[in-house]
Amino acid sequence: MESKQAVNALAALAQETRLAIFRLLVQVGPSGLSVGEISADVKTSPATLSFHLKEMVHADLIEPRQDGRFIFYSANYAQMNGLLGFLTENCCAKDGVSCLPMTKGKCVPTPATKIKRRTANKP
């Protein structure tokens, strides 16, 4: 994933309603939910909901699937995992000593790393 794509995905998640929708869909799994079902969970007008769904599709975080009169939206897990990987990429790589090995995708610095003091002359 590259930076602009990541910014788009993050912006798509950085909104109360959209974040709720995304988490809902992540929990539901690949089968997804129709707009009507989603609207039962988040309180907003149809127009606003449509706007938010469009934003998320555009950011490639969710995918629409037409089924009769309904459109089912499901989470794009690949994109989500790509985003998480992008954020944690090369965690503590320039430090080398203060990080524990990545566990469960988390970046975990050692608790009490001694921070070297740097004088005014040389940052």
Q: Which residues contact 90 (CB under 8 A, 6 or more apart)?
A: none
Chosen from its own copies, DNA, none, partner binding at 71 (C-beta under 5 to 8 Å by type)? DNA
Q: Return d(Cα 24, Cα 29) in angstroms, integer.
A: 9
Q: Return d(Cα 63, Cα 69) in angstroms, integer.
A: 16
Query: Whole-number minimum distance, CB 43 to its own copies, in Å?
Result: 14
Query: Whole-number minimum distance, CB 19 to its own copies, in Å?
Result: 6
Please check whether residue 53 is in contact with residue 24, taking contact to mean a CB–CB distance below 8 angstroms: no
Is the CB of 35 or the CB of 45 nearer to its own copies? Answer: 35
Q: Which of the residues 42 through 81 are near DNA (CB under 7 A)?
A: 44-55, 64, 66, 68-71
- HSE-CB at 25 with a 13 A cutoff on CA atoms is 30
Quick one: tokens of 82? 């790509």
For its own copies, the binding residues (CB under 8 A) are 3-4, 6-7, 10-11, 13-16, 19-20, 22-23, 26-34, 36-37, 65, 67-70, 77, 80-81, 84, 86-96, 98-99, 102, 104-109, 113, 115-120, 123
